[in-house]
A and B are shown apart, each in its own frame.
Chain A
Amino acid sequence: MMKLKSIPGAETVAAGVAAKPQRSTRDGRKVNPLGGVAHLALFLWALATVGPLIWVVLASFKTNEEIFLGEPFSLPDSYSLTSYADAWREAHIGEYFLNSVFVVLVSTAGTMLLGSMAAYVLARYKFVGNRFIYYLFVSGLAFPTFMALAPLFGIAQSLNLLDSYFGLILIYIAYSLSFTVFFLVAFFRTLPHEIEEAATVDGAGHLRRFFQVMMPMAKSGLVSITIFNIVGQWNQYLLPVVIMQSESKYVLTQGIANISVSAGYQAQWGQLFAALTLSILPMIVVYAIFQRQIQAGLTAGAVK
């Protein structure tokens, strides 16, 4: 709560700092008197972000007694890995993690390809039904997903897509298209027409204009929406619950839900926290590795 309080003050600071750059160009790094407040705000938020996660990791080594009677950030009495072994063995976190990675990689790629194709056409071409299709996609933003669950099961079953990664991927793509198309249509509309026209004069066809001219120009927008989709699909829980029925094919979110429910029945808190840690750790690693690419991609549009 304290972090929230620091914001109004810091905002004016931020505005002040914004104007500063031009004045201190010569002497390189300049100590900012208000930097302290900015740092404090950032540091507190970072603390609030990391705190619960560290707490989870610590708790994963603790016994029920330590978790419920001890100080939250006290160190555990011993660093036994039994909880982890149990969580790993019983919860198959590794397998589910890989399942999730596979599904999300393929479906995000599919979403981006199909989404940008549709968005490009909708943003750049005039034809009968354009608006209708556009609004059809956009209206999907307003659907509450779990209302679709029962019908979706029927649809997936009649297409023989139940319990199949292919089915899950198609469904992920379908449910990601709304936002992808909405976002990219707006983005494609803002791109200048001149280069495209020049390409047309050079004799480039529609396809080539799309893949060789528009896609590179749209890179920053594409990266943003790719990340949106990766995150969204990674976190998806309702759709796989309906589609993936057999335990060996679960994705990570299903695995975690399973653990938290069974920990709820058997009061094995250490194991729950170990499982949570196991599912968080790979994310830290993956994110640390790709962080640079993500940042680079997001800022690509800035570099001319």
Chain B
Amino acid sequence: MSDITNSELDRRTLLRRAAAVGVAATPAVGMLSACVGGGGDEKNEQATGTKSADNPLGIDPKAGIEIVIFDGGLGTKYATDVDTPMYTKKWPESKVTYNATEQIATTIKPRLNAGNAPDMINNSGADMMDFGAIVKAGQAADLTDLFAAPSFDIEGKTVAETLVPGAIEQGTYDVEGGRKPFAVNYSFTVFGLYYNKKLFDKNGWTVPTTWADFTALCDKIKAAGITPFAYAGSNAAYYMVRAIMTSAAKIGTEQVLKDLDNLKPGAWQAPAIKQAAEAWGQIGAKYMNKSFLGLRHTEVQLQQNQDKVAIYPCGSWLENEQAASITPNFEYAVMPYPSVTTSDQLPATAINAAAGEIYFASTKGKNVQGGKEYLRVMLSKAAALEFTKLTKSLTVVAGAADGQTISPGLTSGNDMLTKAGKDVFMGYLWDTWYKKMNDASLEAVNALMFNGGDAQKFCDTMEKVAQEVAKDSSIAKNTRA
């Protein structure tokens, strides 16, 4: 009998709880569509303060900020040990709530839509959000005031004036009311072919500048029992896409890439693209084996550290990423892509270097100006230098790391940048603008490199995808001059 009484009680408790849930849920169900789509229309309360010379962005010194850092190749130390202490020193009463995640989109996107986002977000990694869509949805804050504000620690200059050319341009988007900057692309990456300098020195191999030299070198490396060139088809085929894009730009100038970005009909059939694809397709057919199609970037990079792979196309984050696997016999160095033809329009020293790694302040945060202030701290010379020291990656803050010897790979990259002079091009944006096209290019480049090197097929496939994207009205378009 007592069992029954107890159960009865439990049931009542449960019912009460259910009723409570039910009451809470009724408005919630009504709000559902608002949660999903309408969140963008609501005006959320913003913390603000008074603008002054000391407080150019007008933040509320007492309001806390929430930041989210992508926990990937760059680590998170620069945020926890450098940027946040610098920010807190300046604004001791503003509490910084910090989170790191590998999964930016999964954790942040719902919060953006719900109007409850962090104030400053590092959008990066395999799970990054489509930034163009965020801008279009009004979820990223206009950073015009940030770039016009005085630099945090360089007297007499605005933030914009302290940055390398093109750094702001890359985070600028077409919106109603003109082109505006929405993102800080913080790290400055140089792209090239990475190799082990000690291995090359030991074997007397020299850096090739022409394609004939390059293939001759590959033959020598192959004869030494080492895979001359490789990339990871399983999850890093975009390194190979960049290789082809870089070669194409050197053959026919950056205009070739701009046409791709603008989805110009026939852009993928341009002779420069085809020549680049053909040249690389041959390298794939001759010097790579199919196992690389199934390997991941960490595995191939490790093989390079073990001198099983000689040349690897990558960006300047590579050295930091591999820090744990570098042996005393290994020293990273980087070379520009060799000229494919003798009539290349850009010189052999020309390189692709671009700002990357998006940081943005969200309009869906509670303290957007605070988020911008955090970015202003990051863009200080002192923070930039520490970032470079910690991550072995340059930043867009011009000359912040000049005169510093930090690591061989970084020095080598810096040399390459200096030698390139004015022949540095930003590259292409279609891969971030049109994710579907990006994914198609990964499959296409794998087919090119591992299935016999049919350059025409590569061009045809990509041209078809590009035109499909151009015709699809559900995909928001961007243009580039």
Interfacial residues, chain A to chain B (CB-CB below 8 A): 64-65, 68-69, 149-151, 153-155, 157-159, 170, 205, 207-208, 211-212, 241-242, 245-247, 257-258, 261-269
Is the beta-carbon distance between B116 and A208 smaller than 8 angstroms? no
**Mask of B269-310 contacts with A, CB within 8 angstroms, 1/0:** 000000000000000000000000000111101110010000
**Residue B255 lies at the interface, judged by CB distance under 8 Å to chain A:** no
| Given known A-B contacts A158-B27, A241-B103, A68 and B35 have beta carbons under 8 A apart | no
**Distance A207 CA – B107 CA, assembled complex (angstroms):** 43
Q: Which residues of A contact B8 (CB under 8 A)?
A: 207
Query: Which among B99, B116, B298, B321 has the highest number of chain A CB atoms within 10 Å?
Result: B298
Measured CB to CB, the closest approach of chain B to A179, in angstroms, equals 21
Chain B nearest Cβ from A280, distance in angstroms: 21
A207 and B296 contact, CB distance less than 8 A: no
Q: Check A150–B306 contact: CB distance below 8 A.
A: no
Within 8 A of A (CB), among B93-118: 99-100, 102-103, 106-107, 109-111, 113-114, 116
CB of A154 within 8 A of CB of B324, answer no
**Alpha-carbon separation in the docked complex, A247 to B80 (Å):** 15
Please report the number of residue pairs spanning A and B whose Cβ atoms sit closer than 8 angstroms. 100
Contact partners of A157 in chain B: CB under 8 A = 35, 114, 116
What residues of B have a CB within 8 angstroms of the CB of A159 in the complex?
21, 24-25, 28
Write the B103-141 contact mask toward A (1 if CB under 8 angstroms, else 0): 100110111011010000000001000000000000000
Question: Which residues of B lie under 8 Å from residue A245 when comparing CB positions?
Answer: 99, 107
Are A65 and B306 closer than 8 Å at their CB atoms?
yes
Measured between beta carbons, the chain B residues less than 8 angstroms from A261 are 72, 102-103, 126
A65-B306, A159-B28, A246-B99 given; A264·B296 CB < 8 A: yes
In angstroms, how far is the closest chain A Cβ from the Cβ of B330?
A: 12
Q: Is B472 an interface residue (CB 8 A)?
A: no
In contact, B324 and A266 (Cβ under 8 angstroms):
yes
**Chain A residues near B25 (CB, 8 Å)?**
155, 159
Partner of A241, one of B3, B31, B107: B107
| A208 lies within 8 A of B110 (CB) | no
Do residues A265 and B32 form an inter-chain contact, with CB atoms below 8 A?
no
Q: Is the interface of A mostly helix, strand, loop or mixed?
A: helix
**A154 & B32 in contact (Cβ 8 Å cutoff):** yes
* CB–CB A207/B110 < 8 A: no
Cα-based distance from A68 to B297 in the complex (angstroms)? 14
Alpha-carbon separation in the docked complex, A155 to B110 (Å): 11
Chain A residues, CB < 8 A from B166: none
- What chain B residues lie within 8 Å of A258 (beta carbons)? 71, 102
Chain B contact surface mostly: helix
Residue-wise interface mask of B (410-453) relative to A, using a CB-CB cutoff of 8 A (1 in contact, 0 not) = 00000000000000000000000000000000000000000000
Top 10 nearest A-B pairs (CB, nearest first) are A154-B35, A153-B110, A261-B102, A158-B28, A267-B298, A265-B72, A265-B73, A208-B4, A157-B114, A267-B325
| Chain B neighbourhood of A153, CB < 8 A | 35, 110-111, 113-114
- B212 within 8 Å of A by Cβ? no
The distance in angstroms between the C-alpha atoms of A154 and B30, with both chains bound, is 11
Listed residue (B25, B114, B303) with the most chain A CB atoms within 10 angstroms of its CB: B114
Which residue of chain A has its CB nearest to the CB of B317? A265
Output the residue of A68, A149, A265, A269 with the most chain B CB within 10 A. Answer: A265
| B106/A242 in contact, CB under 8 A | yes
B188 to chain A, nearest CB (A): 19
Contact of B7 with A by CB under 8 A: yes
B216 at the interface (CB under 8 A from A): no
How far does the alpha carbon of A267 sit from the alpha carbon of B305 in the complex, in Å? 11
Chain A residue numbers with a CB within 8 Å of B144 are none
Given that A155-B35, A159-B28, A207-B4 are contacting pairs, would A149 and B110 also be in contact in the complex, using a CB cutoff of 8 Å?
A: yes
